[in-house]
Amino acid sequence: MKKLLILLALAAVLTACGTQSSLNQSTDEKDKPQVETNDKREQDELQQEETEEDNRTENSQEKGVDEETQSEKEEEQVPKYELSEIYSLVPIDDANPKVALLTIDDAPDKYALEMAKTLKELNAPAIFFVNGHFMTTPEQEAIVKEIYNMGFEIGNHTYSHSDLTTLTPEEQKEEILSVNDQVEEITGERPTFFRAPFGQNTDISKEIAKDEKMVLMNWTYGYDWNEQYMTKEAIADIMVNAPELGNGANLLMHDREWTNAALGDIVKGLRDKGYETLNPDLIKTPRN
């Protein structure tokens, strides 16, 4: 009997040891994946922190580039010239006085895009004054957009090129504002400069220009509308040798075949005389 009790006790001890070993093994196996999971979580968190830091650095660099670009743009737009009462350009402070402004009316009729490409090749800025009746098709609108994208200023020359002095106030508003609206749809910007047909402004056009923060711009001289100068040679010669040419001259040209053919010679002729072709962005306006 005593031996039996001893055997039973020994069996109980062995069973308990086996159970404990099994429990320990189970616990170890349970804990092991947990350690691996914790390690993975810490690694993921570290990678996330590194990614966020990289993003912050990249955003900071991009912001720096944007601020630098904006600063350069603002510097370029600082006005250096103002329009006189006779529509010539007068230097502000110590700006170069020997400049000439190139302007092209009645765009985009037939030759505006060719003229823009010629000017672009010569690095000669200009204002293209557009008429609404030349922007009635997608193709014509695309030409205006292309000229704008080449860096040229788009001005307002009314919808139909009618003499504003013969129109009612409402008709004048429609002539001017419809072009501003359309140019904004095409380029994203409303025109800064307004040129009345035949140079005939009215109280209404002046009021609209003021409300729209536009500059009224007539000209110093132009000849390509005169039959005497409707050849390449004649218009090139008079535009460079006109008696009206002087510091700050505001040159009127049109979207015409003969002017298109002579444009390169006109720019080169002005430069040979020491004139710089003026960037319209440097003209003082109500917007700068």
pLDDT at 30: 42
Residue burial 86-113, b: 16+ Cβ < 10 Å; e: rest: ebbbbbeeebeeebbbbbbbbbbbebbb
Half-sphere exposure of 75 (CA within 13 A, CB side): 6
Cross-strand pairs, 101:
250
Closest CA to 212 of 226, 191, 231: 191
- Helix or strand holding residue 244 (H, E): none
pLDDT at 74: 44
Q: Is 253 exposed, middle or buried (0-12, 13-18, 19+ CB in 10 A)?
A: buried
pLDDT at 77: 73
Q: Which two tokens stand for residue 183?
A: 């140019």
pLDDT at 217: 98
Residues of the chain with pLDDT under 70: 1-76
Judge contact between 181 and 150, C-beta under 8 A: no
Q: Sign of the C-alpha dihedral, residues 198, 227, 277, 154?
A: positive
Q: Under DSSP, is residue 104 helix (H, G, I), strand (E, B) or coil?
A: strand
User: What's the CA gap between 163 and 73, in Å, rounded?
Assistant: 37
Can you give the pTM of this predicted structure?
0.75
CB atoms within 10 A of CB 206: 14
Half-sphere exposure of 101 (CA within 13 A, CB side): 29
Sequence letter at residue 71:
S
Q: Under DSSP, is residue 246 helix (H, G, I), strand (E, B) or coil?
A: coil
Residue burial 17-44, b: 16+ Cβ < 10 Å; e: rest: eeeeeeeeeeeeeeeeeeeeeeeeeeee
Sequence letter at residue 6:
I
Closest CA to 173 of 198, 149, 156, 153: 156
Per CATH, the number for 81-282 is: 3.20.20.370
Pairing of strands 215-216, 249-254: unpaired
Pairing of strands 89-91, 81-83: antiparallel
